[in-house]
Amino acid sequence: MKIGITGCGGKMGSALIKSVLNSDKYELSGCTEVNSHPLLGSKIGDITNSSKQSDIVISDDPNDMFANSEVVIDFTSPNATETLTNLGKMHKTNLVIGTTGHSEKQLSLIEGASSDITIVKAMNFSIGVNVLFSLTQQLSRTLDDDFDIEIIESHHRDKVDSPSGTAIELGNLAAGAKSRQLSDFAKFNREGIGKPRKRGEIGFASIRGGDIVGEHKVVFAGMAERIELGHIATSRELFCAGALLAASWSKNKTKGLFDMLDVLGFK
């Protein structure tokens, strides 16, 4: 299966390239970076120390990559959404999107493109995190508001969005299980002396530091008891495995917008 990768100089992009090159199931069909990136024009072999497909050149033009790919995997920036969805439609190339922080307009572009191609968009491609999604939804549906919900996430110092997309999705699932909108119950900031916690509120806390790959905890705090659900990622390889699984899964679909719960059969 021919896989194209955007943002190949980033943490996830470089990890994905190594995963593709180390697999017999996939072929790297191209990789891109922004036009100011120092790796632009370099060969894959120069940055991976691998002889496999070592002559592929890192380009700032994604058109050729889309033309030669069955699926393109993107973990870059929401700013790339319009270009990627347009090229996906033009070349009938499926998309796997792991980028978070999209605006409503960008989400609309993704949804529109899914009328022509298959798109798997997920806040997190870890199998374990998607189990956490399912369990959070079940517990929130079962427990009433006597159990306060708090979501705590930790990531490396370079992560720019906060809370993480995964944390937001956990909040959406917890609220949705009670037939509520997260925007009506989310609390993103607790500083100084404020009002007491509102019943039904879903609180968020973020930690940024070091090289933390990703940690998420959902706390259901009741009186005299507390339930904690959590997931700790120790390597980006798990996200790569999930993204490649999604890419393979998308090959058997003609079009539509899906997430990892679809890929894993949880829906």
Tell whether the model's pLDDT for residue 203 goes beyond 80. yes
% of the chain at pLDDT higher than 90: 81
> Which one, of 260, 237, 250, lies nearest residue 17 by Cα?
237
159 is catalytic: yes
Catalytic residue among 155, 216, 217, 231: 155
Q: What global pTM score does this model have? A: 0.81
The CATH code for residues 127-233 is 3.30.360.10
pLDDT, tens digit, 9 for 90 and up, residues 86-97:
999 999 999 999
Where do the H-state alpha helices sit in 51-103?
62-67, 81-91
Question: Is 2-121+236-263 CATH 2.60.40.10?
Answer: no
Q: From the candidates 18, 43, 159, 253, which is the catalytic residue?
A: 159
Q: Is the pLDDT of residue 170 over 90?
A: yes
Segment 66-107, tens digit of pLDDT: 999 999 999 999 999 999 999 999 999 999 999 988 999 999
Residue spans per domain, the chain: 2-121+236-263, 127-233
Those residues with Cβ within 8 angstroms of residue 61's Cβ, 6 or more apart along the chain or in another chain: 32
CA distance 181 to 183: 5
| Residue 155 is a catalytic residue | yes
